[in-house]
C-alpha cells in the first residue's frame, strides 16, 4: 500500500485549507471594494450632482453678463445685483472690476472635473470658511467634512427643524468671459442638508447589508466545508475496529514527522506490537470480544504516548507505534512496561505480545551535522520491526526484539527455504541419515533414529536445525514427516529383502501433525504401502507435543500401538517437565534428553536424576534411550543404571544410508564397543 500517492487523501488535504483561505480572501476583497464604492458614491452624490448644477447656473449668469456687454450695456448691473448670489467681475490678473456682495474669494483653488468629466470647472476657495480647512486637492474631503458637520448639528439640535440645518460648501466658480479678458466669478451655493445625510446613510446601510450578507454566507460556507471535511477526514483515517486512527494515517503522519528537519535531532523508533494468539482468543470467546480487546489495547497504547508519538491498528491484531527515545535501554524499559500493562487488558486471560522494535537513531554526517531522514520509508521500517517481532514467534509468551540486519538474512533464508521446499521433495534432495542406538551392556546395535539432511544444489549440505523450525512454522513439516516415514519404511523393506538384520528405526513426527485425527491411519498406510513390517518403525514425539490436546494424543498413540508401532517420547527432561504425561500416555520408549549429559547437569545431582528417570521408566514398562552421550564414563554409568540403549556421538554420529548399512553388517560380526572407543578419540580431537 503506497498511501502517499493516494489521490483521495491528496484531494482531501487540498480542500482542507486552500478553499477556505480563498473564500475568506475573496470575501474580504469584496468587502473592501464595496466599502470603497460606498464612500465614492456618497461623495459623488454630494459633490458631483450639485457642483454641475451650480456651474450651469453661474455659466448662465456669465453668458447673460457677456451678452449685456456685447449689446452696449443695455442692462445695468442691477439686473445681476438683484440675484442673492455674491459675484465678481475680474480681469485676467484677477483684479476686481465689479463686485456684488462681500468678496471673500481667495483666488486660490483648483480645476475640478464634473462627474462625467466633460467639464473642467475652475473653483476658488473661500477665505472665510474656518470650520472646513481648505485642502489643496481635496474637494471630496471638504464634502465629507460638510457631511460631518451636518451630522453633528443634527445631533446637537434635536429640537431644530431638520430642513433648517444645512452646511455650505463655500467656494467660488470662475467662468471666463469676453474671450478670456475677464472672468465672471460667482460664489457657489452648494449646501449639505440632513436629507443628503439620510440618502448617504441609506446607501451605506444597503451596501453594508449586502457586504455583511455576502460575508456571512461566505463564512457559513467555509465552516460547513470545514466540518464536512473534518468528518470526511475522520471517516477516511478512522480504524473501524479500534475507532482510533487507521494505518494509512499512521504511515502518512509518521513519514511527515520523521522527514521534518527539526526532528532530525531526535531518536525515533517504529514498533510493531503483535497480539499473540488473537485468533485463539476469538475462537474461545467471540469476534466481538476480540475486537473489544483490540480497541482497549489501542486506547491503552495511546494513553502511554507523548505528544509527538502515535499508534494505529494494523492488519488483524497488530499495532504500529512511533516512539521517541533517549537511549535503547530506556526505550526497552518503556516498551516492557507497556507490554506489562497490555498483558493485563483482560481480567481473566493474560495476553501475550510480541514486540519488534526498529530504532531510527539520530545520524551524524561527516561534518557532525544531523543527517536528515528525507529518504525514510515508514512502511519498510515497520516491516523491519515486524521481522524483529516475528523472530519471537516460537513462543506464545510476551517478548521484545530489536531489529538487527541479521534478522533480514534470516528472513531471506526462510523465504529461500519456503520457496524451494516442494521442489526439494520432488527432486528427493532430502536425505535420511541414520544414527544408531546401541545396547550399553552388549554393545549391540538395537535401533536407530532417522534424521533429515538437505543436500541442496544451491546451499549445499543443510542440517535440520536450519530447516525444521521453518517447516514447523509454515506447516510443511507434515510433508517432511510423510517423506521420512515413507523413505525409512522403503529402506527397511529393501534391507530386509537384502538380508540385513534390521533393527527398529525411529522417525520424528512433529507436534503439528498430531492435530490430524487420522494420523495413525496415515502412518499405517504409508508403512504398509512400502511393505515394511510395522514393528521396525518407531514414532518419536517431542515433549512439547504433550501439551496439546491430550485426549487426541492418547487416542492417536493407542491406535499407533494397536497397529504395531512403538511410540517414544523424545527429549524427555528438556524444557518443561512431562511427568504427568507419562502417567496418562501409553508410551513404549523414553528418550532422555542430551541436556542430562551436558554442562551443569553433570555430576552427582545429574546422575541421581538420570538414574531415577530410568527407574521410573522401568516401573512404567518403558524402555530407555539416552541421547547425546559422548564419553565412556557416561556409557558405563548408564549401563549400570540399566539404560536400554545409547544414542550418541560416543558410538556414532548420524550417518548416510550406506554407512549405516555397514554398521548393520558390523553388528553381526564385531563388538561395536571397540569402534566406539575409536570414535571417542576422534570426538576428543
Ligand atoms: P532429536 O530428534 O532429538 O535428534 C537428536 C539430535 O541430537 C540430532 O540432531 C543428533 O544429531 C543429535 N545428537 C545425537 N547424539 C549426539 C551427541 O552425542 N552429541 C551431540 N552434540 N548431538 C547429538 P540433528 O540431526 O541435528 O536433529 C536436530 C533435531 O531436528 C532433532 O532432534 C529433531 O527434533 C529434528 N529433526 C531431525 N530430523 C527430523 C525429521 O525428519 N522430522 C522432524 N519432525 N524433526 C526432525
Ligand atoms: Mg528425535
Ligand atoms: Mg531428541
> Which residue has the CA at smallest separation from atom 27 of ligand 1?
464
Query: Does the pLDDT of residue 423 top 90, yes or no?
Result: yes
For residue 8, how many other CB atoms are within 10 A of its CB? 11
Q: How confident is the model over 302-348, as pLDDT tens digits?
A: 999 998 899 999 999 999 999 999 999 999 999 999 999 999 888 78
Q: Please compute the mean of the pLDDT values over residues 622-645 and round it to a whole number.
A: 94
Q: Where are the beta strands (DSSP E) in 483-544?
A: 505-509, 537-542
Nearest to 511 by CA among 447, 570, 585: 570
The CATH fold of domain 247-403: Alpha-Beta Plaits (3.30.70)
Q: How far apart are the first and last CA of the chain?
A: 56
Q: How confident is the model over 177-236, as pLDDT tens digits?
A: 888 889 999 888 777 777 776 776 777 777 778 777 877 887 788 788 778 878 887 888
Query: Does the pLDDT of residue 71 top 90, yes or no?
Result: no
CATH of span 415-595+654-670: 3.20.20.450
Q: Which ligand is nearest to the CA of 572?
A: 3
pLDDT at res. 528: 97
CA 594–ligand 3 middle distance (angstroms): 7
Query: Does the pLDDT of residue 363 top 50, yes or no?
Result: yes
> Which residue has the CA at smallest separation from atom 4 of ligand 1?
451
pLDDT class for 137, splitting at 50, 70, 90?
very low
CA 582–ligand 1 middle distance (angstroms): 22
Give me the residue spans of the domains in the chain: 2-17+216-234, 20-205, 247-403, 415-595+654-670
Q: Please compute the mean of the pLDDT values over residues 247-256 and round it to a whole number.
A: 90
Q: How far is CA 133 from the centre of its chain?
A: 70
- Ligand 1, atom nearest to 481 Cα: 42
CA–CA distance, 142 with 134 (Å, rounded to integer): 7
Nearest to 43 by CA among 115, 133, 117, 149: 115
CA 437–ligand 1 middle distance (angstroms): 13
Phi/psi for 392 (5° steps) reads -100, 0
> Which residue has the CA at smallest separation from atom 5 of ligand 1?
627
- Ligand 1, atom nearest to 451 Cα: 38
Q: Show the ligand 1 pocket: residues with CB < 6 angstroms.
A: 435, 451-452, 463-465, 468, 477, 480-481, 484, 508, 510, 570-571, 594, 627-630, 647-649, 654
Q: How confident is the model over 225-242, as pLDDT tens digits?
A: 778 878 887 888 899 999
pLDDT at res. 45: 62
Nearest to 584 by CA among 615, 539, 552, 542: 552
What's the count of helices (H) and strands (E) in the chain, helices before strands? 20, 22
pLDDT at res. 278: 92
- Ligand 1, atom nearest to 463 Cα: 26
**CA torsion 328→329→332→336, rounded to 10°?**
-170
Q: Look at 63-77, 226-240, 340-354, 516-530 and tell me which has the smallest mean pLDDT.
A: 63-77
Q: Give the chain's length.
A: 685
Between strands 87-91 and 182-187, the pairing is antiparallel
Q: Which ligand is nearest to the CA of 593?
A: 3
CA 371–ligand 2 middle distance (angstroms): 52
> Which residue has the CA at smallest separation from atom 22 of ligand 1?
628
How does DSSP classify residue 512?
G
> Which residue has the CA at smallest separation from atom 8 of ligand 1?
451
> Which residue has the CA at smallest separation from atom 45 of ligand 1?
508
Q: 340-349 — which CB contacts under 8 Å span 24+ positions?
A: 341/300, 341/304, 342/273, 342/297, 342/300, 342/301, 343/398, 345/293, 345/296, 345/297, 345/300, 346/293, 349/281
Q: Is the alpha carbon torsion for 380, 382, 388, 394 positive or negative? A: negative
Amino acid at each position: 500500500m503506497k498511501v502517499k500517492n493516494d489521490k483521495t487523501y491528496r484531494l482531501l488535504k487540498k480542500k482542507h485549507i486552500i478553499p477556505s483561505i480563498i473564500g475568506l480572501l475573496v470575501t474580504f476583497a469584496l468587502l473592501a471594494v464595496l466599502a470603497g464604492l460606498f464612500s465614492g458614491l456618497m461623495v459623488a452624490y454630494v459633490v458631483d450632482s450639485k457642483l454641475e448644477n451650480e456651474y450651469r447656473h453661474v455659466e448662465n449668469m456669465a453668458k447673460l453678463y457677456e451678452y449685456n456687454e456685447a449689446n452696449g450695456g443695455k442692462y445695468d448691473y442691477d439686473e445681476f445685483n438683484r440675484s442673492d448670489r455674491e459675484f465678481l467681475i475680474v480681469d485676467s490678473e484677477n483684479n476686481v472690476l465689479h463686485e456684488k456682495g462681500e468678496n471673500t474669494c481667495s483666488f486660490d483653488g483648483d480645476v475640478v472635473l464634473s462627474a462625467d468629466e466633460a467639464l473642467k470647472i475652475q473653483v476658488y476657495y473661500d477665505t472665510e470658511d474656518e470650520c472646513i480647512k481648505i485642502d489643496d486637492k481635496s474637494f471630496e474631503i471638504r464634502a465629507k467634512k460638510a457631511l460631518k458637520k451636518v451630522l453633528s448639528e443634527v445631533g446637537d439640535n434635536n429640537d431644530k427643524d431638520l430642513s433648517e440645518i444645512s452646511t455650505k460648501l463655500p467656494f467660488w466658480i470662475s467662468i471666463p468671459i469676453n474671450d478670456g479678458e475677464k472672468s465672471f466669478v460667482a460664489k457657489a451655493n452648494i449646501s449639505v442638508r440632513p436629507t443628503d445625510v439620510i440618502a448617504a446613510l441609506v446607501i451605506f446601510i444597503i451596501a453594508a447589508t449586502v457586504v455583511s450578507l455576502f460575508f456571512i454566507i461566505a463564512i457559513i460556507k467555509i465552516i460547513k466545508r470545514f466540518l464536512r471535511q473534518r468528518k470526511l477526514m475522520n471517516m477516511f483515517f478512522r480504524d473501524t475496529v479500534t475507532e482510533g486512527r487507521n494505518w494509512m494515517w499512521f504511515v502518512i503522519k509518521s513519514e511527515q514527522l520523521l522527514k521534518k528537519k527539526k526532528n532530525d535531532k531526535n531518536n525515533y523508533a517504529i514498533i510493531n506490537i503483535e497480539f499473540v494468539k488473537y485468533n485463539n482468543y476469538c475462537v474461545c470467546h467471540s469476534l466481538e470480544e476480540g475486537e473489544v480487546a483490540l480497541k482497549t489495547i489501542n486506547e491503552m497504547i495511546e494513553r502511554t504516548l507523548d505528544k509527538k508519538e502515535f499508534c494505529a491498528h494494523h492488519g488483524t491484531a497488530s499495532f504500529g507505534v512511533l516512539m521517541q527515545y533517549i537511549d535503547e535501554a530506556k526505550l526497552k524499559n518503556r516498551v516492557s512496561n507497556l507490554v506489562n500493562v497490555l498483558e493485563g487488558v483482560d481480567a481473566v486471560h493474560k495476553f501475550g505480545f510480541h514486540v519488534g522494535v526498529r530504532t531510527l537513531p539520530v545520524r551524524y554526517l561527516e561534518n557532525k551535522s544531523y543527517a536528515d531522514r528525507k529518504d525514510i520509508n515508514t512502511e519498510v521500517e515497520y516491516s523491519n520491526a515486524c521481522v524483529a517481532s516475528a523472530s519471537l514467534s516460537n513462543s506464545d509468551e510476551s517478548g521484545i526484539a530489536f531489529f538487527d540486519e541479521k534478522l533480514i538474512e534470516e528472513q531471506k533464508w526462510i523465504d529461500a527455504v519456503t520457496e524451494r521446499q516442494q521442489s526439494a521433495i520432488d527432486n528427493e534432495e532430502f536425505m535420511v541419515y541414520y544414527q544408531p542406538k546401541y545396547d550399553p551392556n552388549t554393545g549391540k546395535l538395537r535401533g536407530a533414529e532417522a534424521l533429515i539432511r538437505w543436500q541442496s544444489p544451491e546451499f549445499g549440505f543443510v542440517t535440520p536445525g536450519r530447516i525444521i523450525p521453518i517447516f514447523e512454522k509454515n506447516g510443511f513439516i507434515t510433508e517432511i514427516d510423510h517423506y521420512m516415514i515413507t523413505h525409512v519404511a522403503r529402506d527397511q523393506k529393501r534391507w530386509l529383502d537384502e538380508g540385513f538384520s534390521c533393527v527398529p528405526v525411529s522417525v520424528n513426527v512433529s507436534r503439528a501433525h498430531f492435530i490430524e485425527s487420522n494420523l495413525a491411519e496415515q502412518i499405517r498406510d504409508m508403512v504398509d504401502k512400502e511393505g515394511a513390517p510395522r514393528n521396525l518403525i518407531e514414532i518419536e514425539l517431542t515433549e512439547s507435543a504433550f501439551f496439546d490436546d491430550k485426549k487426541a494424543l492418547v487416542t492417536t498413540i493407542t491406535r499407533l500401538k494397536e497397529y504395531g508401532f512403538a511410540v517414544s517420547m523424545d527429549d524427555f527432561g528438556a524444557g518443561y517437565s512431562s511427568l504427568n504425561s507419562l502417567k496418562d500416555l501409553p508410551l513404549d520408549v523414553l528418550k532422555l534428553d542430551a541436556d542430562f549429559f551436558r554442562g551443569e547437569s553433570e555430576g552427582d545431582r545429574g546422575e541421581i536424576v538420570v538414574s531415577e528417570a530410568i527407574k521410573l521408566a522401568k516401573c512404567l514398562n518403558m524402555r530407555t534411550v539416552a541421547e547425546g552421550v559422548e564419553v565412556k564414563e557416561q556409557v558405563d554409568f548408564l549401563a549400570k543404571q540399566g539404560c536400554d540403549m545409547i544414542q550418541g556421538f560416543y558410538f556414532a554420529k548420524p550417518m548416510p544410508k550406506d554407512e549405516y548399512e555397514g554398521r548393520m553388517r558390523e553388528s553381526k560380526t564385531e563388538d561395536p564397543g571397540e569402534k566406539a572407543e575409536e570414535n571417542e578419540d576422534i570426538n576428543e580431537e
